[in-house]
Amino acid sequence: MATMRDFMAARKQKSASTPAVPPTADDAITHSCGHRTTRKHMESTPCRECVNTSDKKRRQQKHKKQTEKRKSERPDIPRLPDLAEFNVVYNAELQRWYGELVIGEKKFYGSASGVFKLLPLLDQQYREWLSQQESQQ
């Protein structure tokens, strides 16, 4: 049965038996790190500065697009008035949250299975009451 060590040794032997053909001296550029690159390769690719500029423009466009998308997805709902107060209590036996939204003298009541379901429910009651008040005037 072949082991991982046997596999790695065979792989190393195979790569050693087929040496890479280095570029010819007149067609090669040697970098400061010692790696060699063909002149043809260098001529067909943009310089590092152009690549960096292109990447920067692409990142800026992506950021701008994401920012615009976030702004368009976010509805423009006005905030609750100053001193609005939420009071919530959990009933473990019924596994429900009960709460009220107090705005001045007006109170809105509700219950839900989770806090993040209850708060929008109370807010919606306030918005409906507010629209009724505006329509009566």
Do 89 and 57 reside in the same domain of the chain?
no
pLDDT above 60 (res 15): no
Residue 17 lies in a domain: no
Range of the domain at 130: 85-136
Q: Which of 76, 94, 117 is the last residue of a domain?
A: 76
State the total domains in the chain: 2
| Residue 9's pLDDT band (cuts 50, 70, 90) | confident
User: What average pLDDT does this structure show over 48-73?
Assistant: 88
CB proximity list for 90: less than 8 A, separation 6 or greater: 96, 97, 98
Compute how many other C-beta atoms are within 10 angstroms of the C-beta atom of residue 57.
Answer: 10
Residue 1 lies in a domain: no
pTM: 0.47
Do 101 and 71 reside in the same domain of the chain?
no
Do 72 and 96 reside in the same domain of the chain?
no
